[in-house]
Amino acid sequence: MTLRRSWVESANSADTTFPLNNLPYGVFSTDPETMPRCGVAIGGMIFDLHKAEGDGLIDLGTPVFDVPYWNGVMDLGPEAWAALRARLTELFAEDAEALPGYLLAQANVTMLMPFKVAEFTDFYAGKHHAMNVGTMFRGPENALPPNWLHIPIGYNGRASTVVVSGTDIVRPKGQTKAADAEMPTFGPCKWLDIELEMGAIIGGSNAIGDTVTVQQADDMIFGYVLLNDWSARDIQAWEYQPLGPFQAKAFATTISPWIVTKAALEPFRTSTPAREKELLPHLVEPGPMLYDIDLAVTLAPKGKTATTIARTNYNQMYYSAAQQLAHHATSGCAMNVGDLIGSGTISGPEKSERGSLLELTWGGKEPLTLDTGDTRTFIEDDDTLTLTGAAKGDGYQIGFGACTGTIREAKPFAK
């Protein structure tokens, strides 16, 4: 597919990640006194859907843009999703009537959470990441748990601490224990890390007790965001046995502000890698369900320029989001509109493709040297970490906006 041209001139640039081919969904605010509202990114602008619905330009059969979140649209199902995208494509086409009164410059608004997160589940479904981490802690012979090649491993996270890009992240506190210490100590995390992930937003549901096929799971996915599941590695090392991550992952998860739909990503579908062990039938994909999306991470110390510390691609995942969702429901677990599924850390085979500092510095033993001359093993206070991603087409690209967070010092413990 090539670039679809629009009457919004900034959408026709090869540099924008928001061409007419994309049309991602977000929520924005113009000032503290005005109600936030839903919008669509087109070039450097945002189309005000609350105003457009009120004036009759958009009609999905029931009002859905009178609230500042996308859950109502998700709840209408795939036919409505397709109808909305078709209508927006019609409104923004190059030969359509220009509607400047509905556009606002992205530079002049504040982006907010695009949807209400019902539940958050994070997976551990990237093989290179799992091999790297497993090798560090258990050696290469035992890097992957026995179940890893048969099911996508995951754990339930915290919906309450999912935040939108640009939100500061307070350094977490918790118990840690040195290898030679008799007792643990309590204090701020010292090994603070990122996890470069994609997030799948669920727009459908299944009743408790029901299961879904991989195809049905793919049909239930409304769209995707970039996702950074911040991780306190020293807290995690002490607490995770035998039940896995808890407080080390509960303090913050950052997502990008724009939901990119499956329709926009359709030209970039690709297959998961060849299976090392045959999957059971309920997890076999009926077709390509991953996406070819270039990803990058930058780190910027306070007041200094950013250094790109990793580049990889979403196509490195061993399990797709559809497989993860189908597995999640295999027990009869009810999945709901607004559920968020994290892919797990996305790493590639090369050192430069590792999606966490834990891997990039090999547990802190191999410090990174930034372009500024600073070195890092893990994240320091006032560092800013940014995830970016885009699928690259013929003369256009499909992006998500930045997924950014700045670390602030730990707060005093409550007394």
Q: What is the pLDDT of residues 235-289, one digit of tens each?
A: 999 998 888 889 999 999 999 999 999 999 999 999 999 999 999 999 999 999 9
CATH number of 9-112: 2.30.30.230
pTM summary value: 0.97
**What pLDDT is stored for residue 369 in this prediction?**
98
pLDDT the model gives residue 214 = 98
Summarised one tens digit per residue, pLDDT across range 294-313 is 999 999 999 999 999 999 99
Q: Identity (one letter) of the amino acid at 175?
A: Q
The 3 state secondary structure assigned to the chain is CECCCECCHHHHCCCCCCCCCCCCEEEEECCCCCCCEEEEEECCEEEEHHHHHHCCCCCCCCCCCCCCCCHHHHHHCHHHHHHHHHHHHHHHECCCCCCHHHEEEHHHCEEECCCCCCCEEEECCCHHHHHHHHHHHHCHHHCCCCCCCCCCCEEECCHHHEEECCCCEECCEEEECCCCCCCCEEEECCCEECCEEEEEEECCCCCCCCCCCHHHHHHHEEEEEEEEECEEHHHHHHHCCCCCCCHHHHCCEEECCCEEEHHHHHHHEECCCCCCCCCCHHHCCCCCCEECCEEEEEEECCCCCCEEEEEEEHHHCCCCHHHHHHHHCCCCCCCCCCCEEECCCCCCCCHHHCCCHHHHCCCCCCCEECCCCCEECCCCCCCEEEEEEEEECECCEEECCCEEEEEECCCCCCC
pLDDT digits (tens, 9 = 90+) for 342-390: 999 999 999 999 999 999 999 999 999 999 999 999 999 999 999 999 9
Is residue 128 among the annotated active site residues? no
Q: Please give the structure tokens belonging to residue 214.
A: 């991989």
Of the chain, the percentage scoring pLDDT greater than 90 comes to 96
Query: CA–CA separation, 20 vs 2, rounded Å?
Result: 11
pLDDT in tens, 33-83: 889 999 999 999 999 999 999 999 999 999 999 999 999 999 999 999 999
Q: What is the pLDDT of residue 202?
A: 98
The mean pLDDT value of the chain amounts to 97
Indicate whether 415 pLDDT > 80: no
Give the model confidence (pLDDT) of 396-410 as tens digits: 999 999 999 999 999
- Two domains, one topology: 9-112 and 120-408: no
> For position 32, what pLDDT does the model report?
86
pLDDT of residue 414: 80
Architecture of 120-408 per CATH? Alpha-Beta Complex (3.90)
**Average confidence (pLDDT) over 185-214:** 98
Q: Which entry of 128, 129, 327, 328 is annotated as an active-site residue?
A: 129
Neighbouring C-beta atoms of residue 281, cutoff 10 Å: 8
C-alpha 312/C-alpha 346 separation (Å) is 7
**More confidently predicted of 245 and 107:** 107
Rg over alpha carbons for the chain, rounded to the nearest Å, is 21
Please give the Cα distance from 268 to 306 (Å, whole number): 29
Q: Are 84 and 58 in contact (CB under 8 A)?
A: yes
More confident residue, 402 or 413: 402
Q: Is the pLDDT of residue 146 over 90?
A: yes
pLDDT above 90: residue 226: yes
Domain boundaries, the chain: 9-112, 120-408
